[in-house]
Structure 1
Amino acid sequence: MSAGTLRVTSLFLSIDGEVNACGQGVPSFFIRLAGCNLRCWQAFGGCDTVYSFGPGTPMTVEELLARVEASGCPKVTLTGGEPLLQRGPALASLLRGLRERGVFVSMETNGSIAPEFDGRECVGSLVYDYKCPSTGCTEAMLPFASLFRALGPSDYIKFVLRDLADYAFARERVIEARGLRGDAPGPVPAFSPMLPVAGNGLAPAALVERVLADRLFEVRINVQLHKYIWPDADREV
């Protein structure tokens, strides 16, 4: 792979169904990079983007920038797989090219790779999907304190919750964050109920009730809009 090439799973124009600094429901051009270093949810059938685990299609930075320009969209969501597996000159070049064109970039990544990479200054919002116990990948996560301190107020730490054990894990991380925050604003915690709704009382309404009862007022509820709009989608939309 040349220095100017990235491995891509798919490109598509849609809305951003997840939390980020631009908000949910914002039109965005998606660049889904190929490859992932985790295998989450193996006890429950695997993750919902297993098609991104393959080798992908090599595309040059110039090709990707041209596709973004052709879309006319002022926002890009860079996701995977795990996009930071391809950190290096090509990713940095893409990020800087997007900034030069006035495009806002959010990046969705997991909690296993540190948020220090070439081109980081061009990412307007990093969204870290910090893996809860039901994923089977919690041990792959970075120490929460180091990750929290490396992120800023336009970034998010998202917890996808399948059951009450996941909720308890995420709640403890929020309480830990209160002690780490000090006077400086840190990243925003977001709780996302796993869809389709699992048992154990974590339907969206029940999750909101728990968050309010536990006075987790800094938490944002992340109901994944795309899974409500396209619940049966088997393709990128």
Structure 2
Amino acid sequence: MSNGRILVSPEDSLSLRVISLFLSIDGEVTARGQGCPAFFIRLAGCNLRCWQDLGGCDTTYSFGAGEEMRVSTLLERVTASGCPRVTLTGGEPLLQQGPALTALLRGLAQRHISVSVETNGSQPPDFPGRELVNCLVYDYKCPSSGCESAMLPFEHMYAGLAPSDYIKFVIADESDYRCARAKALQARELARQRPGPRLAFSSFLPALPAGLTPPRLVARLLEDGLFEVQFNLQIHKFIWPDAETDI
């Protein structure tokens, strides 16, 4: 209290729009390792509508308005889970960048919580609080997603990411593979100037009849000598194949 007024901390006064909170595992690549237990904060809203010709996004429920939750409440839920890792996802979490998101990231850092942020390729990586994120995972949208035109220029994306970060590509068909391979070769050249993020390729699942299934994709990676690319298997789709909502 100061001069008769109660001081309200940012954690109490700021809020984010949240779709769901849940304890699970990281189903895809992160710097801390795939399959690690993590507390998920799924924020509401997305600016893209991917895969419309292939059944649509697998988290369309995140497009809604969500529930306003105070940053202090989110920090309490994370602490109560006992998990030392948070995965911030969406939707598109960086649509809510600003004082509330920065306060959340600062509060997590103060509690020694490791933070991974999963984002699409449309938002710049220099958002407020970026220095508090341990791993930023960019999902570059290939042609079959229908959203490649919304991606940042690849060289700008690469320049804004660190060796602990990832750019991942979900590959459904040959056009997607050609796109991802071209970016991998571009990254190889950029890496001659400065170390950059790791790259990961994964198959679109369920695979198309003539698509690049996991065995086919691995074979192509090896045939083309893309030895710096990590194969990414979306293991949550094998653990919970029929799930329509978060576990």
- TM-score of the superposed pair, with normalisation by structure 2: 0.94
Q: Return the match for 1:35 from 45, 54, 58.
A: 45
Structure 2 stretches lacking a partner, 5+ long: 1-11
> Residue 18 of structure 2 aligns to a residue in which SS?
strand
Give the % identical residues. Answer: 63
| Residues 218-237 of structure 1 aligned to structure 2 (within 5 Å) | 218-237=228-247
Displacement of 1:68 in angstroms is 0.1
Residue equivalent to 1:106: 116
- Do the aligned residues in 2 keep the contact of 1:129 with 1:157 (CA within 8 Å)? yes
1:133 & 1:75 partners in 2: Cα distance? Answer: 33
Q: Return the match for 2:173 from 145, 149, 163.
A: 163
Residue equivalent to 1:123: 133
2:174 & 2:207 partners in 1: Cα distance? Answer: 13
Displacement of 1:179 in angstroms is 1.2
2:126 & 2:21 partners in 1: Cα distance? Answer: 25
2:82 & 2:74 partners in 1: Cα distance? Answer: 13
What amino acid is aligned across from residue 118 of structure 1 in structure 2?
P
Displacement of 1:212 in angstroms is 0.3
Please say which structure displays the higher CA radius of gyration: 2
- Do the aligned residues in 2 keep the contact of 1:164 with 1:200 (CA within 8 Å)? no
Displacement of 1:199 in angstroms is 2.6
2:167 & 2:79 partners in 1: Cα distance? Answer: 29
Deviation above 2 Å: which 4+ runs of structure 1? Answer: none
- Do the aligned residues in 2 keep the contact of 1:10 with 1:31 (CA within 8 Å)? yes
Residue equivalent to 1:144: 154
Q: Return the match for 2:103 from 89, 93, 107.
A: 93
Structure 1 stretches lacking a partner, 5+ long: none
- Do the aligned residues in 1 keep the contact of 2:59 with 2:245 (CA within 8 Å)? no
Residue equivalent to 2:199: 189
| Residues 165-180 of structure 1 aligned to structure 2 (within 5 Å) | 165-180=175-190
Residues 1:78 and 2:88 aligned together:
yes
Q: Return the match for 1:63 from 73, 77, 101.
A: 73
- TM-score of the superposed pair, with normalisation by structure 1: 0.98
